[in-house]
Amino acid sequence: AQKVTQAQTEISVVEKEDVTLDCVYETRDTTYYLFWYKQPPSGELVFLIRRNSFDEQNEISGRYSWNFQKSTSSFNFTITASQVVDSAVYFCALSEASYNTDKLIFGTGTRLQVFP
């Protein structure tokens, strides 16, 4: 069965600190996709990144970076020099790639609070 675990329920940091959000996944599929979404107080989920199972290259986008390691089934997300606007709930998600589907399996989310 597929499962996504985000062990950190809530993280609080002070502005300009770096913070890493952990994500561990389980799947028997050999081909799959991993995602990170941000949910601000308004409610909608905002797409941050997708990574497929064959691409283990780390990715950096501005202050955001992602570390994908198949050996440990982890897909961690780091925010460098955090800002108050980064405060939100962050979700890691997994989808099957074998079928045409938009079904995502979400982790329980990590609430990040960045204080000024």
Partner 1 sequence: KAGVTQTPRYLIKTRGQQVTLSCSPISGHRSVSWYQQTPGQGLQFLFEYFSETQRNKGNFPGRFSGRQFSNSRSEMNVSTLELGDSALYLCASSLAGVAGNTGELFFGEGSRLTVL
Residues that bind partner 1 (CB under 8 A): 32-33, 35, 37, 42-47, 50, 52, 91, 95, 97, 99-109
**Angle, CA of 60, 71 and 62, to the nearest 5°:** 5
CB of 90 to partner 1, least distance (A): 12
Neighbours of 95 (CB within 10 A): 20
Identify the residue whose tokens are 């938009």.
102
Closest to partner 1 by CB, 28 or 102: 102
CB of 105 to partner 1, least distance (A): 7
Cα separation of 30 and 17, whole Å?
36
Amino acid letter for position 5: T
Q: How far is the CB of 15 from partner 1 (least distance, A)?
A: 27
Classify residue 20 by its DSSP letter. E
Considering beta carbons, is residue 14 or 52 the nearer one to partner 1?
A: 52
Is residue 83 within 8 Å of 114, Cβ to Cβ? yes
Closer residue to partner 1 in complex, CB, 75/82: 75
Q: Which is nearer to partner 1, 60 or 81 (by Cβ)?
A: 60
- Cα(18)–Cα(51) distance, rounded to whole angstroms? 22
Question: Taking the complex as a whole, how short is the minimal distance between the CB of residue 79 and partner 1, in angstroms?
Answer: 20
